[in-house]
Amino acid sequence: MLDLSQLQNKRIVVLGLGLTGMSFVRFLSNKKTYNALNFAVNDSRSSHAQFEEFKRDYATIELVTGCWDSRLIASAEILLVSPGVDINQPEIADNIADNCQVWGDIELYARLKQTPCVAITGSNGKSTVVNLIHHIGQKLGVKTQLGGNVGVPVLDTLDTEPELLILELSSFQLETLTSLTPIVSCMLNLSDDHLDRHKSIENYGEIKQRVYQGAQYAVFNRDDLVTKPTSELAAVSFGKDSPAANQFGIIETTRGKFLALGKQALMPLSQLTISGIHNATNVLAALAIGQLLKWPLDTMLEALASFEGLAHRCQAIASNDDIFWINDSKATNVGATVAAIEGISSTIGAQQQLILIAGGDGKGADFSPLKAVIDEHVSQLFALGKDKAQLLALSEKSQAVESLEQAVELSRTIAKSGDVVLLSPACASIDMFTNFAERGQTFVDAINNVKEAS
């Protein structure tokens, strides 16, 4: 454990002043726990909404913006790094002193406090799984708290005492994490994402494997064996196939497909409140984690009935036109969109069209895995955004659009009753929107405007 006195008289530099950066600042400025204010803040951006708040509330603290400041970085004994900051870029890496410690907010939290926790990572499905565990835990009367990529920054929760901290961890957070000791860690899947930062899928996978460091138990995906821990850990697996004893999967019965533990049928897929095979495997991952936490299986299954799913993640949008509009704006990489197409196509009839809206900033990803699923399942693709040309090249069934509103308008002209229109971009939103939530809301608003006009 880290004694707060060990931070005193250390030269500390915070890199990045977004949500996490501001949580660092609040922690370091809290005179109840930290008496020697000896830190500075550096952000490469010239302007950001947080800068004015910082200058107003922390006027005496040094803030350097517009570049990565080699003087500040070289002076640091401790670098506190926001997840969005790539510490491997030369402007930072070449100036870090040999004796400097580099921590993210999860690492600092883990050094300060040993809260019982579970840690979940993966390219897709993280938010669904952590929210499932949070929901199930609350139904069981467990005092759970979300952290990491969801909820409030973990440093803002230091004064709370949850029974279980449920962490959604990105590869960016795992890069600086060494001290966490989860009860259960889980890597859900791995697909091309953030290769503009991590350079190769192999390096990305190695970073994701760090989720298993310090864990008591592991949960991994049998359908994606790169998720299996490379270290020796007691492990439970989940997958779409019929499972072996004490593993989770899906079985065929005379009454249809069921979630299963070994040969034991647990719940029909038709009763799940979130649709698609990909979401069924998310549920299986949550059940496997819950079982390792020693939560009663029957009570967990009861809790699933009241889980409503997440906004912008395969979210059905109500309409009066008999078209099924699905907002999957949170699908910011190719793997997420492949999973959405395959998951949704498995639930619709052969006569129903699946119309896909995709595109944005691909972050250097390889789009080729989309080709086969588009050929097999998609009737029409509307592509927009920075990397739309790469999507258009995948299929002759594609058309460029200039906006989401235009994509919705054109989708409605070709969709008939019972057809599905899926927004699942396979790309980040930053080329056209503030974030995926704004993109999703724009899609919803366009649908509503179509309804009002009809």
Q: Which residue numbers are catalytic?
A: 126, 149, 194
Q: Is 47 annotated as a binding residue?
A: no
* Per-position DSSP letters for 287-334, written without gaps between them: HHHHHHTT--HHHHHHHHTT----TTSSEEE--SSS-EEEE-TT--SH
The CA–CA distances, whole Å, from 24 to 92, 188, 344, 366 equal 19, 29, 41, 35
Three-class DSSP category at 167: strand
Give yes or no for a contact between 73 and 42, defined as CB atoms under 8 angstroms apart: yes
Q: CA–CA separation, 100 vs 91, rounded Å?
A: 16
Task: To the nearest 10°, report the CA torsion of 134, 83, 20, 165.
Answer: 20
Q: Is 122 annotated as a binding residue?
A: yes
Q: Is 10 annotated as a binding residue?
A: no
The CA–CA distances, whole Å, from 132 to 21, 125, 295, 309, 440 equal 28, 11, 13, 8, 21
- List the structure tokens of 103: 């921590």
What pairs with residue 164 in β-bridges? 144
Q: Is 128 annotated as a binding residue?
A: yes
Q: Is 231 annotated as a binding residue?
A: no
- List the structure tokens of 342: 């395959």
Q: Is 330 annotated as a binding residue?
A: no
DSSP secondary structure code for residue 428 in this structure: B
The CA–CA distances, whole Å, from 94 to 39, 58, 87, 137, 175 equal 20, 29, 10, 45, 17
Task: To the nearest 10°, report the CA torsion of 368, 372, 377, 378.
Answer: 40
- List the structure tokens of 108: 């600092």
Q: Is 189 annotated as a binding residue?
A: no
Binding-site entries for ATP: 122-128
Binding-site entries: 122-128
